[in-house]
Structure 1
Amino acid sequence: MNMLLTSSQFVFPLITVPYVSRILSTYGTGAVAFAQSVVSYFSLLALLGISTYGVRVCAVVRDNREKLSCTVQELFMILLLSSSVVYILYLISVFSIPQMSNDKGLFLISSASIWLGSMGVEWFYQAIEQYGYITMRNIAFKLISLVLMFIFVKSQGDYRVYALITVFANGGSNVLNLLRLRKFVDFSFKRKLCIRRHFKPMRSFMVMTIANGMFSQADLVILGFLGTPSMVGLYQLVAKTKNLAYSVVNSVSNVMLPRLSYYKGDPNKKRYSTLLFKNFNFLTLSSLAGIGICVLAAKPIVLILGGENFLGSVVPLKIAAISLIFSAYNTLLAQDLIASGKETYFSIVCCMNLVIAIAYNVFLIPIFGVTGAAMSMTLCELTQTGILFLVSRKVLAELLKRSQLGRIAFSAAISYVIGAVSEHFVAGSGAIIQFLVPTLSLGVSYGLLLLLTGEYFVSGIFASVIRRVMGERG
């Protein structure tokens, strides 16, 4: 279900981004991206790390309705208070900071995300693994927003309308979360609550989530303050493309935290280590494929998604694509630390990386502009990977011992060469052909080579398909 959700997150932008980029151009898309990035900082403060802490703490008590209800009610009350305080601070910022007050309408529209994000209890549905509901709900709201976008976004001046539709697409479905919550949780004013019991364990999650969230948006926010809306417009296309590729690569990993937390308390530790190993192998082979596609087909990707006005995004995209494998490993190692109750270590790593990200961006953006932001993205992910490798070296040693990195690297290298050769033969063709030929050449050769070398994940899928086909025939 999460792979289906991820696929929708990949398909819908393929429809909306080319349309919006051509209508709003670099200025309009840049203005909206900057506003969304600033709002995301305030949303992180409002959530207080509950988006991650809530998943773990609810997953542990999900089989006990009374304990689950009590936990959800306590967390909801904390969120209500924190969101109110943060929203007041946000309004003060809108009317006092020049970069925000110059377009109050846009920033006020975007502010709805603060409430929709914090009150949407998405963490609860992840904790009880309601991925079918999450997927269908998200796809439905994306379809509605797609129709609204084509109807109402018609000119460059409609960027505020686009911002409103984006808020609806990303957070509107959270209203349904609240309405459906009573199916799983019993709210009661008579229940004795103990909100304070969450403060200490939340502390690390709060620091971790806020620092990590700020780190992920640091390049866009700093580029917005040091550069122009058009520069942000070029870079947001790079960031969106990289994030789309990362979502596909990380589609399996995203659903791992509740299951890892559940297995960690199981006396049979083998299930935990096996799940971690499977995820490590999948992330390695899928991220290498994503890097190859983004590097080989960077120009046609930019032309398809943004048009000729966005050709300045080609080189930054190639640089940012390299960060895919580091991002994937960072997510995996972070999940292991969180599931193991070592979130304090990860929160320290996140704080260190936020400081490093600010330094990279402040130094590189004035010199290299949009390319500097892409360079900082890759350098930050690489730095975080290095730090996490040191923190989790025992786990990493076990993963490397069982992994099949040699087979994956060999298959990736050969398929890159095949993709590059095929790219040479279609040079000068249309953007679609320039994208499809090297991508398919790389993908097919990569899959066959992984199968021929006996790579665990691909061989397992192939064997499963064969068994089903033979079973149906039998």
Structure 2
Amino acid sequence: MARSVGHNAIMNVSLVASNALATMITVPYVSRVLTVAGNGSVSFAQSTANWFQVFCTIGVASYAVRECARVRDDRNKLSILTLEFLVVIGVCSAVSLSEFAAANCFIPAFRSNGVLMWIFLANAFLTAFGVEWFYQATEDYDYIVIRSIVIKVVAVALIVLFVKTPEDYILYGLLLALGTSANNIFNIVRLVRLIQLPQGFGIRDLHPIRHLKALSYFTIMNISTSMYLSFDTILLSMLAPGNYQTGLYQLAAKLKTLILTAITAIVNVITPRLSYLTKDGISGKYTSLLRLSFSFLLTFSLAIGAYMIVYAEPMVVFISSKRFLDAVPSVRIAGAIIFIVSVANILGPLILIPNNREKIFSIACLTAMPASLILNVLLDGRYGAIGASIALACTELVSLLVQIWACRKELRSIVTVKLLAKSIIPSAAASAASLAYLEFGPTPSAFMTLLVGTAIFGLVWVIGLLTVQEPTAMLVLRKFLPERGKHVNHRNNSGEERA
């Protein structure tokens, strides 16, 4: 039986938090133990394998979540669909990884990192067949999170115990790959027990070709997004003198990515549930969950974006020292980008994809590519990290505007001025209180500024949510304070959905 969306979201965010904690432990440790060259070799092999891996799955991961979610109650249909996706992955992996293997043999840069390249090739193979999408579609998040955290703890422990000298960089690469591969091996073994084919089923009953048209759109999405999110750094390195501006930009990018990972984790939980609810057409439960999801993501992203804009300077000083103060404008722009991307995550994964409109989504992603290229060429050389940040914000905005136009009908049914006000007012009040604190309050250190400032921002924000009766805040209040919830305005009940 599927658990509530709230439970799944908490589990997925816990997974993201555990991954962030593991990164905070391993990256500083490995950076001290290994040489820059050793770290670079592992990163090069891993990044190269990731590129080939994109062509192994050609969008299956996103598409399969939707399709499998719709038939999750029928074990036979789910099993057949899963096998069809595995056939597609098998064919694409054979082509992509054969090219990777050939590159390992003939390209000098690949041959010089031969052992690592073969390690991550094997890892790419296992990841392609890792069927994580199956467990997301069936909303088996308890298994996903527990398995991942246990393996992550073991992997981190092995790295700390055995990676001791600069010469251990290959061992580090192996343990890094094993940390991912172990997840996929468990997935595959468990899948064998879950597959249930109907009587008389034969290989001729599989029809993987029927998925190719939809998969082509998902492939365009993945490749387009990867291109404009990767080449901004490359173009900045080429156009701006030296690596100083790239270092500033990377600091802002890492903060943005960390926060967006948590938001994406929540979106990934909601997508299969919405896809499940649309299997027989649009339902009232779909609209209710979509409205609640829109309210939550809008409210949360506004708060995070506002917090980054207001506290950008103490954040930068605390994380990277005063030497990186020039990164403050880029961090503030990153706050705006978080809001733009969060709204796009509502429109694309939560409206377009569940309703078989992936073609529009792919057009939005594809439209962003030339915008990114043109803006980076125009701005990076003159404005450095700030120019690259503005270019990314405008690129994401272009994609968002295309999606808003495509979803205008759905937006009319779920968005009201009152709902927008309930999302905006708490963040505006929290920002005003924070600005007053920064202007008049004592600031002995960046850490204390953030500590006190976060408490002020959070307290005013929560009070604002409860004052305007923001739907998700009221839902939480009813769950934890049922007696108080009886007196809450029941008009907020429209957003509550527990499948």
Same fold flag (TM > 0.5) = yes
Contact 2:22 2:152 in 1 (8 A): no
Q: CA shift at 1:466, angstroms?
A: 1.0
After superposition, the Cα gap between the structure-2 partners of 1:190 and 1:456, relative to the gap in structure 1 and judged at 3 Å, is closer
Q: CA shift at 1:307, angstroms?
A: 5.9
- Say which is worse superposed, 119-128 or 78-87, in terms of deviation: 78-87
After superposition, the Cα gap between the structure-2 partners of 1:117 and 1:24, relative to the gap in structure 1 and judged at 3 Å, is same
Partner of 2:425: 410
Spell out, residue by residue over 1:146-173, the C-alpha distance to the aligned partner (whole angstroms, 9 max, x if none).
3234345567786666555444444541
Superposition pairs of residues 292-303 of structure 1, within 5 angstroms: 292-302=306-316
Q: Does 1:51 align with 2:58?
A: no
Contact 1:24 1:155 in 2 (8 A): no
Match of 2:16 among 5, 9, 30: 9
TM-score (norm 1): 0.86
Spell out, residue by residue over 1:96-135, the C-alpha distance to the aligned partner (whole angstroms, 9 max, x if none).
7788677666655544552233111111111111111111
Separation (CA, whole Å) in 1 of partners of 2:180 and 2:380: 29
Q: Does 1:219 align with 2:232?
A: yes
Q: CA shift at 1:284, angstroms?
A: 0.9
Separation (CA, whole Å) in 2 of partners of 1:263 and 1:198: 21
Match of 1:467 among 482, 485, 488: 482
Match of 1:89 among 99, 112, 116: 99
Partner of 1:191: 203
What one-letter code is carried by the residue in structure 2 that aligns with 1:347?
Answer: S
**Which structure has the greater CA radius of gyration?**
2
Superposition pairs of residues 200-279 of structure 1, within 5 angstroms: 200-220=213-233, 222=235, 235-266=249-280, 269-279=283-293
Contact 1:298 1:318 in 2 (8 A): yes
Superposition pairs of residues 167-186 of structure 1, within 5 angstroms: 167-186=177-196
Separation (CA, whole Å) in 2 of partners of 1:43 and 1:420: 46
After superposition, the Cα gap between the structure-2 partners of 1:300 and 1:3, relative to the gap in structure 1 and judged at 3 Å, is farther
Consecutive unaligned residues in structure 1, runs of 5 or more? none
Q: Give the match's secondary structure for 2:203.
A: coil
Separation (CA, whole Å) in 2 of partners of 1:386 and 1:308: 37
Spell out, residue by residue over 1:184-226, the C-alpha distance to the aligned partner (whole angstroms, 9 max, x if none).
1147994322222222332222222332343343334555676
After superposition, the Cα gap between the structure-2 partners of 1:80 and 1:100, relative to the gap in structure 1 and judged at 3 Å, is same
Contact 1:27 1:229 in 2 (8 A): no
- Say which is worse superposed, 295-304 or 377-386, in terms of deviation: 295-304
Separation (CA, whole Å) in 1 of partners of 2:170 and 2:392: 28
Separation (CA, whole Å) in 2 of partners of 1:385 and 1:470: 36
Q: CA shift at 1:49, angstroms?
A: 0.8
Contact 2:313 2:328 in 1 (8 A): yes
What one-letter code is carried by the residue in structure 2 that aligns with 1:427?
Answer: T
Q: Give the match's secondary structure for 1:63.
A: coil
Superposition pairs of residues 61-100 of structure 1, within 5 angstroms: 61-92=71-102
After superposition, the Cα gap between the structure-2 partners of 1:166 and 1:366, relative to the gap in structure 1 and judged at 3 Å, is farther
Match of 2:304 among 285, 290, 293: 290
Consecutive unaligned residues in structure 2, runs of 5 or more? 1-7, 487-499
Q: CA shift at 1:457, angstroms?
A: 1.3
After superposition, the Cα gap between the structure-2 partners of 1:208 and 1:15, relative to the gap in structure 1 and judged at 3 Å, is closer
Q: CA shift at 1:392, angstroms?
A: 1.4
- Say which is worse superposed, 363-372 or 287-296, in terms of deviation: 363-372
- Say which is worse superposed, 151-160 or 215-224, in terms of deviation: 151-160
- Say which is worse superposed, 334-343 or 61-70, in terms of deviation: 61-70
- Say which is worse superposed, 182-191 or 18-27, in terms of deviation: 18-27
Q: CA shift at 1:35, angstroms?
A: 5.7
Separation (CA, whole Å) in 2 of partners of 1:358 and 1:100: 28
Alignment coverage as a number of residue pairs: 470
After superposition, the Cα gap between the structure-2 partners of 1:327 and 1:268, relative to the gap in structure 1 and judged at 3 Å, is closer
Separation (CA, whole Å) in 2 of partners of 1:77 and 1:51: 14
Separation (CA, whole Å) in 1 of partners of 2:451 and 2:413: 38
Q: Give the match's secondary structure for 2:68.
A: helix
- Say which is worse superposed, 393-402 or 343-352, in terms of deviation: 393-402
Separation (CA, whole Å) in 2 of partners of 1:242 and 1:294: 9
- Tell me the percent identity: 29
Q: Give the match's secondary structure for 1:129.
A: coil
Contact 2:13 2:262 in 1 (8 A): yes
TM-score (norm 2): 0.82
Separation (CA, whole Å) in 2 of partners of 1:437 and 1:410: 21
Match of 1:427 among 439, 443, 465: 443
Q: Does 1:316 align with 2:316?
A: no
After superposition, the Cα gap between the structure-2 partners of 1:201 and 1:134, relative to the gap in structure 1 and judged at 3 Å, is same
Separation (CA, whole Å) in 1 of partners of 2:442 and 2:165: 34
Q: Does 1:344 align with 2:351?
A: no
Q: Give the match's secondary structure for 1:427.
A: coil
Superposition pairs of residues 121-140 of structure 1, within 5 angstroms: 121-140=131-150
- Say which is worse superposed, 371-380 or 135-144, in terms of deviation: 371-380
Contact 1:242 1:320 in 2 (8 A): yes
After superposition, the Cα gap between the structure-2 partners of 1:326 and 1:403, relative to the gap in structure 1 and judged at 3 Å, is farther
RMSD between aligned alpha carbons?
3.5
What one-letter code is carried by the residue in structure 2 that aligns with 1:215?
Answer: Y
After superposition, the Cα gap between the structure-2 partners of 1:469 and 1:389, relative to the gap in structure 1 and judged at 3 Å, is closer
Spell out, residue by residue over 1:133-152, the C-alpha distance to the aligned partner (whole angstroms, 9 max, x if none).
11111212222233234345
Q: CA shift at 1:231, angstroms?
A: 6.6
- Say which is worse superposed, 326-335 or 461-470, in terms of deviation: 461-470
